[in-house]
Amino acid sequence: MNDDDASRQRHDDDPDLVDKALKSFDHVLDIVHDKVVRPLLIAGRAIAFGFIIAVMALVIVIVLAIGVVRLLNVYLFAGREWLTYLIVGVISLVAGLLIWRRRKPVTLRK
């Protein structure tokens, strides 16, 4: 066996220093991804989906309100729009009073 064969066998038996460094760097990247990046992605998704749901709920509420007013104007109180606005106003007032009644004073909110 000459020197080239001996050095080649030593090289094959010992893991390469570059491979060790790359494996440890990959391990650090995996840990950073699991501890930092994944929670940020989940939080970003939650914010985005929450915003989409809020906008969709707002659109649905507006469309339903327009539909109720049109229904009352056209089919129930044709020619008497003031009666439609009175009914919608009373419903809004009652809903607001119910919500106001459920509130808690500032000192009891904790």
Residue 104 pLDDT class (50, 70, 90 cuts): confident
Q: How many angstroms separate the CA atoms of 3 and 11, rounded?
A: 12
Cβ proximity of 104 and 89 under 8 Å: no
Residue written as tokens 């080649």?
Answer: 8
Higher-pLDDT residue of 80 and 105 is 80
Query: pTM for the full model?
Result: 0.58
Residue 40 in tokens: 């940020």
Kindly report the number of other CB atoms within 10 A of residue 72's CB atom: 18
The span from the CA of 8 to the CA of 71, in Å, is 89
List, for residues 1-32, the tens digit of each pLDDT value.
555 555 555 555 556 888 888 899 999 999 98
What residue ranges do the domains of the chain occupy? Answer: 3-76, 80-110
